[in-house]
C-alpha cells in the first residue's frame, strides 16, 4: 500500500483534538488486529477473488409471488439459489467469493402509509392508485417477505462478509407527495405521471439488517454504522489488499455523506467500493429515477450528483460504485478530483420475466428477475489488475454469454437500440484498473 501522509490538519490540533484522534487511531489498530486474526481463507494460490453483487430481490420476496398465494412456484427460490451459489463458492468452502454487496430493495412492500417523521415535518400524502394496487402496506412484510430474506442471508452468514444498501422498498413507507400527485391518466412512458414518491421510516430494515441485528452485531468486519445501520461499512481482505465497503441509504442525505467521509478518513488509503440503491440510469447518466427524484421536494434528500460531487469525487480511494433500482444495465467511468478513474456500474434485473413464461403464466407475465446477479472477478496477478464482470443466473446455471437465448429474451425490452453483440457486452465485460497500483501500491504477496 502507498505510504500514508499525515494531513496538515493533524499538526494544528488542540490537545483535546489530539486525544480524540489518538483514540480513533487506536480503535482502527484494534480493528486491523481483529481482521488479521480471522481464519485464513481456503484459497491458497494466486491473488484473484470474486465479489458477488445482488441486485434488487424485491420480486422474489414479494408475498404474492409464493405458492401460498396461488403463484405457480415460490419465487423466493430464485433468491435462495443466488445465496446457495454464493455459499458454495465462498472462500471458506474452497471458492473465491470474498464479499457480497446487496444494492437494495431486499423486499417489496411497505408496512405503513406514511412515516411519522415526515408527518411531523408537515408532509402529506396524495392518493395514488398505482401504489395502492401494487405496493399497499401489508403485515405480510413481517410474516412473509422479511423471513424469506432472512432465510436467504442465513445461507452466507458466517461464511463471507456482506453489506446491504437499503432501497426505497426497504423503507416502512412509500407515498406520493401531495404537491406532486399522479396525473389523471397514467402514461407508462412518463414515470412522473405516477407522482413523485417519497420514502420514510427504517424500523423494519434496522430490526432485520441494522447494526444491532444478528447478522452484524459483534462481527469484526462490520466496522462502522450510521442512522442505526441505514449506512454501514465493512472490511475484507482479498488479493493482497484490505478493502473497505460503504453501503449508503437511498437518497443519502448529507449527514450520511459526512459520516462516510469520516469512515474514509479512518481507513485512509484502503481501496474502497461504495454501494447505493439509485445512482445511474440505464443510459449511464447520474440521475435519480424520475418517479423517486425527491431532492427538490425534501431538502434532506440527496441525489446521485450530490453523492458524486460531495463524496465520491473528493475521496481518491473510492474506485468502484455499485447500484440498482433502475431496471437494466449501465456503466460509466469518470475521473475524480485527483485525476483517477472511478468505475460506476448499474445492474437491476427485476423486470425480466422469462421464468414466469417458463412456468406457463399468461401474458403479461409478472416480472421476477430470473435469478440474474453480478460476479466481479478481480485478477490481481496481472501487471494491470482487471475486473471481469459476469452476469450469472443460478436458476439457468449459465452466464449471460453462454445462454444462446439471452439477447432474444431481454434485449427488445431493455436496449432495442443495441445489436445482440453490444447487448451481451453490457452484461459481460472487463474493466482495466489502470491506475489501481499507483493509488494503492503493489499489495502483499499471495499466501
C-alpha cell at 315: 475521496
Strands of the 197-200 sheet, one edge to the other: 125-126, 173-177, 197-200
- Is residue 186 very low, low, confident or very high in pLDDT (cuts 50, 70, 90)? low
Mean pLDDT of the chain: 89
Q: Please check whether residue 255 is in contact with residue 172, taking contact to mean a CB–CB distance below 8 angstroms.
A: no
d(CA 350, CA 9): 46
- Neighbouring residues of 422: CB distance < 8 A, sequence distance ≥ 6: 415
- Is residue 17 very low, low, confident or very high in pLDDT (cuts 50, 70, 90)? very low
Look at strands 162-164 and 386-393 and give their pairing: unpaired
Judged by average pLDDT, the poorest of 21-25, 60-64, 231-235, 338-342 is 21-25
Cell 490537545 appears where?
15
Q: Concatenate the DSSP letters of all residues of 269-282 into one string.
A: T--EEEE-SS-B-T
d(CA 221, CA 391): 27
Q: Please check whether residue 86 is in contact with residue 156, taking contact to mean a CB–CB distance below 8 angstroms.
A: yes
d(CA 370, CA 348): 11
Residue 20 has pLDDT above 50, yes or no: no
Q: Concatenate the DSSP letters of all residues of 8-32 into one string.
A: HHHHT--HHHHHHHHHHHHHHHHHH
Judged by average pLDDT, the poorest of 48-52, 127-131, 265-269, 376-380 is 127-131
Q: Please check whether residue 243 is in contact with residue 274, taking contact to mean a CB–CB distance below 8 angstroms.
A: no
Coil, helix or strand for 161? Answer: coil
- Is residue 180 very low, low, confident or very high in pLDDT (cuts 50, 70, 90)? confident
- Is residue 184 very low, low, confident or very high in pLDDT (cuts 50, 70, 90)? confident
- Is residue 190 very low, low, confident or very high in pLDDT (cuts 50, 70, 90)? low
Domain architecture of the chain: domains with CATH: 48-440 (3.60.21)
Q: For the segment 408-431, what is each residue's pLDDT rounded down to a tens digit? A: 999 999 999 999 999 999 999 999
Q: For the segment 376-403, what is each residue's pLDDT rounded down to a tens digit? A: 999 999 899 999 999 999 999 999 999 9
**What residues are paired with 164 via a beta bridge?**
102
User: How many Cβ atoms from other residues are within 10 Å of residue 33's Cβ?
Assistant: 10
Per-residue pLDDT, 350:
97
Q: How far apart are the first and last CA of the chain?
A: 17
d(CA 376, CA 438): 21
Q: For the segment 307-361, what is each residue's pLDDT rounded down to a tens digit? A: 999 999 999 999 999 999 999 999 999 999 999 999 999 999 999 999 999 999 9
Which DSSP symbol is given to 196?
A: P
Nearest partner of 344 among 386, 286, 264, judged by Cα: 286
Residue 31 has pLDDT above 80, yes or no: no
Per-residue pLDDT, 11:
29
Per-residue pLDDT, 25:
43
- Rounded to two decimals, what is the model's pTM? 0.88
Quick one: average pLDDT of 74-96? 98
Per-residue pLDDT, 445:
65
Beta-carbon-side half-sphere exposure of residue 242 (alpha carbons within 13 Å): 17
Which segment, 28-37, 171-180, 262-271, is predicted with the most confidence on average?
Answer: 262-271
Per-residue pLDDT, 364:
92
d(CA 234, CA 52): 15
Q: Please check whether residue 369 is in contact with residue 387, taking contact to mean a CB–CB distance below 8 angstroms.
A: no
Quick one: average pLDDT of 95-115? 98
C-alpha cell at 95: 471458492
Per-residue burial over 232-262, b = 16 or more CB atoms within 10 Å of its CB, e = otherwise:
bbbbbbbbbbbbbbbbbbbbbbeebbebbee
Q: Residue 98 CA to chain centroid, in angstroms? A: 16
Enumerate long-range contacts of 73-78, CB under 8 Å, 24 or more apart: 73/359, 75/355, 75/368, 76/148, 76/151, 76/152, 78/355, 78/368, 78/369, 78/370, 78/371, 78/395
Cell 463458492 appears where?
89
Amino acid at each position: 500500500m502507498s505510504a500514508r501522509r499525515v494531513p496538515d490538519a493533524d499538526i494544528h490540533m488542540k490537545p483535546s483534538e489530539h486525544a480524540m484522534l489518538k483514540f480513533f487511531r487506536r480503535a482502527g489498530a484494534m480493528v486491523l488486529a481483529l481482521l488479521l486474526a480471522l481464519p485464513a481463507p481456503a484459497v491458497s494460490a494466486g491473488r484473484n477473488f470474486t465479489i458477488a453483487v445482488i441486485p434488487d430481490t424485491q420480486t422474489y420476496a414479494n408475498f404474492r409471488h409464493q405458492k401460498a398465494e396461488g403463484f405457480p412456484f415460490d419465487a423466493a427460490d430464485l433468491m435462495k439459489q443466488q445465496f446457495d451459489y454464493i455459499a458454495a463458492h465462498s472462500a471458506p468452502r474452497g471458492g473465491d467469493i470474498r464479499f457480497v454487496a446487496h444494492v437494495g430493495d431486499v423486499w417489496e412492500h411497505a408496512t405503513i402509509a406514511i412515516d411519522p417523521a415526515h408527518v411531523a415535518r408537515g408532509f402529506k400524502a396524495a392518493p395514488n392508485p398505482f401504489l395502492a394496487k401494487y405496493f399497499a402496506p401489508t403485515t405480510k412484510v413481517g410474516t412473509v417477505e422479511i423471513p424469506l430474506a432472512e432465510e436467504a442471508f442465513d445461507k452466507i452468514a458466517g461464511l463471507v462478509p456482506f453489506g446491504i444498501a437499503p432501497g426505497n422498498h426497504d423503507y416502512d413507507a412509500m407515498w406520493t407527495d401531495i404537491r406532486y400527485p399522479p396525473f389523471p391518466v397514467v402514461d407508462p412512458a412518463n414515470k412522473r405521471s405516477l407522482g413523485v414518491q417519497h420514502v420514510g421510516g427504517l424500523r423494519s430494515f434496522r430490526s432485520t439488517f441494522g447494526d444491532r441485528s444478528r447478522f452484524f452485531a459483534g462481527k469484526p468486519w462490520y466496522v462502522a454504522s450510521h442512522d442505526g445501520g441505514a449506512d454501514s461499512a465493512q472490511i475484507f481482505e482479498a488479493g493482497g489488499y484490505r478493502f473497505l465497503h460503504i453501503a449508503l441509504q437511498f437518497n443519502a442525505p448529507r449527514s450520511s455523506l459526512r459520516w462516510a467521509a469520516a469512515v474514509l478518513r479512518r481507513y485512509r488509503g484502503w481501496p474502497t467500493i461504495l454501494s447505493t440503491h439509485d445512482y445511474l440510469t440505464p443510459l449511464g447518466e447520474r440521475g435519480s429515477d424520475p418517479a423517486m427524484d425527491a431532492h427538490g421536494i425534501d431538502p434532506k434528500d440527496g441525489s446521485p450528483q450530490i453523492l458524486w460531487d460531495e463524496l465520491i469525487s473528493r475521496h481518491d480511494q473510492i474506485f468502484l460504485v455499485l447500484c440498482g433500482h433502475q431496471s437494466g444495465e449501465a456503466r460509466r467511468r469518470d475521473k475524480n478530483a485527483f485525476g483517477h478513474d472511478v468505475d460506476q456500474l448499474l445492474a437491476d434485473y427485476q423486470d425480466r420475466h422469462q421464468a414466469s413464461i417458463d412456468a406457463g403464466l399468461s401474458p403479461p407475465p409478472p416480472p421476477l428477475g430470473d435469478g440474474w446477479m453480478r460476479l466481479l472477478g478481480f485478477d490481481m496477478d496481472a501487471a494491470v489488475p482487471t475486473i471481469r464482470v459476469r452476469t450469472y443466473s443460478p436458476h439457468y446455471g449459465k452466464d449471460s454469454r453462454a445462454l444462446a437465448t439471452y439477447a432474444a429474451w431481454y434485449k427488445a425490452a431493455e436496449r432495442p437500440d443495441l445489436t445482440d453483440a453490444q447487448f451481451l457486452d453490457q452484461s459481460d465485460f472487463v474493466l482495466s484498473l489502470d491506475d489501481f497500483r499507483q493509488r494503492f501500491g503493489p499489495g502483499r504477496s499471495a499466501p
